[in-house]
Amino acid sequence: MRIDILSIFPEMIRDAVGVGLLGKALENGLLDVHAHDIRDFATGRHRSVDDTPYGGGAGMLMQCGPIFDAVESLRPVNSLRRIVLLSPRGKRLDQAMVRDFAAEPDLVLLCARYEGVDERVSEALVTDEVSIGDYVLSGGELPALVLVEAISRMLPGVIGDWESVETDSFYEGLLGPPQYTRPETFRGRTVPEIVRSGNHAAIRRWKRKEALRTTLLRRPDLLETTARRHLNNEDYNMLAEIESEMPIGEKENQP
Ligand code: ADE
The secondary structure of 228-250 as a DSSP string is: GGG--HHHHHHHHHHHHHS-HHH
pLDDT digits (tens, 9 = 90+) for 193-203: 999 999 999 99
CA of 94 to the centre of ligand 1 (A): 14
Shared domain for 218 and 95, answered yes or no, is no
Does the pLDDT at position 213 exceed 80? yes
CATH, residue 142: 3.40.1280.10
What whole-number distance in Å separates Cα of residue 80 and Cα of residue 177? 39
Shared domain for 7 and 112, answered yes or no, is yes
The ligand 1 atom at the shortest distance from the C-alpha of residue 135 is: 6
Residue 253: the pLDDT is: 60
Long-range contacts formed by 43-48: CB under 8 A, 24+ apart: none
pLDDT digits (tens, 9 = 90+) for 63-93: 999 999 999 999 999 999 999 999 999 999 9
Residue 158 dihedral angles phi and psi, to the nearest 5°: -75, -45
Does the pLDDT at position 183 exceed 70? yes
Amino acid at residue number 18: G
The ligand 1 atom at the shortest distance from the C-alpha of residue 87 is: 9
Q: β-pairing, 50-51 with 61-62?
A: antiparallel
Q: Is residue 7 lining ligand 1, measured as CB closer than 6 Å?
A: no
How does the average pLDDT of the chain come out, rounded? 94
Does the pLDDT at position 249 exceed 90? no
Shared domain for 146 and 216, answered yes or no, is no
Residue 160: the pLDDT is: 82
Residue 36 dihedral angles phi and psi, to the nearest 5°: -120, 145
